[in-house]
Amino acid sequence: MTEATLADATEQTDEVKSGLYRNSLIALMRAHDTYGVWSKKSDDEVLASFVLTKEKRRSIPIIGDPDEKVLWRLEIFYTAVAYAINRESRLDATPIMKISGEGFGRVLITAGRLVVLNRTLRDVHRFGFESVDALAAVGQALVADGVGIINRFSDVAHCDD
């Protein structure tokens, strides 16, 4: 890796760490802490529940129903994407999720009449990321894609009908 590439990677990591998505997810997680349990925890500690190492992932059976906590984290993850898109584009972005009892489904995020994110969900019971940085990078990429689609099709997104 050249020095320029290493500098770009470091800059990108810093951008993700202070990025809009990461801040949105932390805000949503802390908003759900009604008893103040996480008030003294660092942001990385609050996001640690999203980390699922390869070893942990392997220990989860292939067939199984998703746990309520996993479904909640999945919902918070995509709600934070919608919230960050909303903050970036100034349009109401709304997540819509439908998940079967076996852990398969779909998530959509709409802005106006425009679908800005459309993802198929599989193996939801194994939802997680290798690290907090990976979580933030994926979330930030989804936000950037959503905002890019809004910018590309702005007349559909801004339709008031």
| Of residues 81, 95, 63, the one with CA closest to residue 147 | 81
Task: Provide mean pLDDT across the span 112-134.
Answer: 92
More confident residue, 46 or 2: 46
pLDDT score at 57: 82
pLDDT score at 157: 86
CATH assignment of the domain containing 55: 1.10.3100.20
Helix (H/G/I), strand (E/B), else coil: 35:
coil
Query: Confidence band (pLDDT; 50, 70, 90) for 82?
Result: very high
pLDDT tens by residue, 4-28:
433 444 454 444 445 899 999 999 9
Domain that holds residue 53: 3-157
CA dihedral 149, 109, 84, 67 (to 10 degrees): -140
Number of structural domains found in the chain: 1
pLDDT score at 85: 96
CA pair distance 43, 52, nearest whole angstrom: 17
